[in-house]
Amino acid sequence: MAPEASAVSAEPSSDDQTSPSPEGILEDLILSRLDDDKAQDVVSIDLKDKSSVADRMIVASGRSHRHVGAMADHLLRSLKDAGHGRARVEGLPHCDWVLIDAGDVIVHLFRPEVRVFYNIEKIWSVEAPHRTAAN
């Protein structure tokens, strides 16, 4: 199954009867920041039944080392300002692939050629194995 793309809505829906989950709020913050920074090919993958590490993975590309680094820096600042200051980051010195672990949401920022090489969307978009009862 292909990874699901997630669109960002700036305004809350009037037919929402429940408040968004903390993961949903965090995801919206990240997607909004990436949209503001002109991230390319943003993909959001649901990991709830696939991994205990996080509930969601967001993958995006930047045009260059500088663009990837700026997106990571802006995202880290936004997370800190929103009270998620414990986000861990890897890969900032080189900015080919920056990983930001924000708890329930993991963000991968790539240069396009590095993203194609690793192709992590394909790895994580595989359906979770179905369990059958033993006879």
Domain map of the chain by residue range? 22-124
Share of the chain above pLDDT 70, in %: 75
20-27, Cβ contacts within 8 angstroms, sequence gap of 24 or more: 22/104, 23/55, 23/56, 23/104, 23/105, 26/84, 26/102, 26/103, 26/104, 26/105, 27/56, 27/58, 27/105
pLDDT the model gives residue 113: 95
Architecture of domain 22-124: 2-Layer Sandwich (3.30)
DSSP, res 125: T
Q: Which residues contact 69 (CB under 8 A, 6 or more apart)?
A: 62, 92, 95, 98
Its pTM stands at: 0.76
Per-residue model confidence as pLDDT tens digits over 51-68 = 778 889 999 999 999 999
Where does the pLDDT of residue 4 fall: very low under 50, low under 70, confident under 90, or very high at 90 and above?
A: very low
Measured between alpha carbons, how far is 91 from 109 in angstroms, rounded to an integer? 9
Per-residue model confidence as pLDDT tens digits over 113-132 = 999 999 988 887 755 444 44
